[in-house]
Each structure stands twice: as C-alpha cells, then as structure tokens.
Amino acid sequence: MTITQALLSFAVVAGLLTLVPGIDTALVLRSSLTRSRSYAFATALGISTGAMIWGVAAAVGVSALLAASELAYRALTLAGAAYMVWLGASLVRKSWKGGAPAEAEAVAVPARAGLFRAWLTGTGTNLLNPKVGVFYIATIPQFIPAGVSPLFMGVVLAGVHSALTMAWFALLIFGTGYASKWLKGPRTVRIIDRITGTVLVGFGVKLALQPGH
C-alpha cells in the first residue's frame, strides 16, 4: 500500500465517521444558530484541534496505552462524561433562569475572548472523548505503509480527518447561517440551548454508563 492509497482509503473511513451526528455536530449547530458564524467556526476549529492531538497521541503510542489500560480509559471516560453533563446542564439552567440571550453575551464578551472560549470548548469536548482516541488507535495502524514513519502518517491521517471535519462543518455552518436569521429571538435561543443542553447531558450520561472497552 502506497501513501496515496493509504490516504484515500482512510479518507473514506474518516469521511463516513464525520457524517455521523454526535456531540461535535450538536455544539457546532448550536454555535451557528445562536451565536455567529465566526463563533461556530472557532468551535469547529477546536474540535479539529482535538482530533489532531489525538492523531499525534495515537502515532506516539499514547492512545495505545489508553486502549490497553482499563483504569486510564475509565478515568478519561468519566472525566469526559462529567464535562459533557456540566456543559449541557449549564445551558439548560441558564435558559430556564432567563439569562441573557447568546447574542447579548456575545456583545458583553470581547470578540477575541469569545472565539477563544469557543475554540477551547470544541477542543476540550474532543479531547475528553476516549472514543476518538480508540478510533485512531484502531484505524491508523492499518493505514501506515511499510517503511513510513508512524508519527508522520499519524499526523497526516489526523490532518485528513480534520480537513474533512472542517469541510463538513463549513457546510453545516453556512447552511444554518441562513436559518439563524429567523431563529435568533430570545425565546428561540433558549429553546435551542435547552435542546442542545439535553443532548449533551444525554451523551455524558450514556458515556458514563457504558461498560469498559
């Protein structure tokens, strides 16, 4: 298998995974519908950053350690579950308390700080999801041609996954951008936050209750 063949084959697998709705999709959609296009792209970039870090970790063997150690896997799983539940519960609580709508928050928080927060949320959500690490350790070794540096291929393959992720999220962001013009009223924003928060809590609870790998 050549490097080109490995990249194309991995792109098919990663592309199919990217299209499956999950917590990442929920976060990007929420950012696009209730905040701004730049905020949504910052969230998507954070998710891609997390994927890149997982790819490097898989290449250097960190993900292999995670896959082999039940304790390490469970600890990261519970940390990720707690983070998702906290994030989701915060959105739901804020919506019911009648807090400031997302647009008002965006004005109150400096633009650069707001984008960094969005990036950090996307990165943290991805890094605290052990399923991403397991995916990389299960797939990347299969797409490393003989004689090619595992670290090099790990970075390149993770880059392919990140590029596909950003392309898919860009379609979602631009698509929902038109709908957001009619969905940015305070009441609608609170409903979106409640739905997104409930989804995040659900993912977190499901992750915490899952048996070990």
Model confidence, pTM:
0.66
| Res 41: pLDDT | 94
Q: Which two tokens stand for residue 121?
A: 């949320």
Provide the residue-wise pLDDT of the chain in tens; the chain has 213 residues: 788 888 888 888 888 778 776 778 888 888 888 788 899 999 999 999 988 888 887 777 655 555 566 776 677 667 767 766 877 787 778 767 754 444 444 444 456 678 898 999 889 888 887 777 777 766 776 777 878 877 788 888 889 988 999 999 998 888 886 665 555 556 666 776 677 778 768 877 876 776 655
Burial of 147 (0-12, 13-18, 19+ CB in 10 A): exposed
The predicted structure's pLDDT at residue 104: 44
Distance CA 98, CA 83 (A): 23
- Identify the CA nearest to 130 among candidates 30, 12, 23: 23
Identity of the residue numbered 151: L
